[in-house]
Amino acid sequence: MPVRLITMDKDLYRRLKRDVPPKGISAFISHAVRARIYPDRKALDDAYKAASQEAWRRQVAGDWKRTDTGEWPE
């Protein structure tokens, strides 16, 4: 059940109205508050899994492999 409970200064409200579609303001605020308070465990797990599939991240991880295993040049 939705609850109305927010107040904000006029400048912030004007910026919100300018940058967010009219029918998306409540969803935008809910998403922002939820992200700021805490991301849920499933969202974090999904994000980490998606990131692990990105080729550029695997390349970066490979670049750091030497530091992980102590393979420094002598």
Q: What is the pTM of this model?
A: 0.49
pLDDT for the residue 29:
92
What is the band of 68 on the pLDDT scale with cuts at 50, 70, 90?
A: low
Residue 50's Cβ-count burial label (10 Å; 0-12, 13-18, 19+) is exposed
CA gap 2, 25 in Å, rounded:
14
CA gap 69, 74 in Å, rounded:
14
Q: Where are the alpha helices (DSSP H) in the chain?
A: 10-19, 25-37, 41-52, 55-63, 65-69
What is the band of 3 on the pLDDT scale with cuts at 50, 70, 90?
A: confident
Structure token digits, residue 8: 């904000």
Q: Do 26 and 3 contact (CB within 8 A), yes or no? A: no
pLDDT tens sequence across 13-23: 999 999 999 89
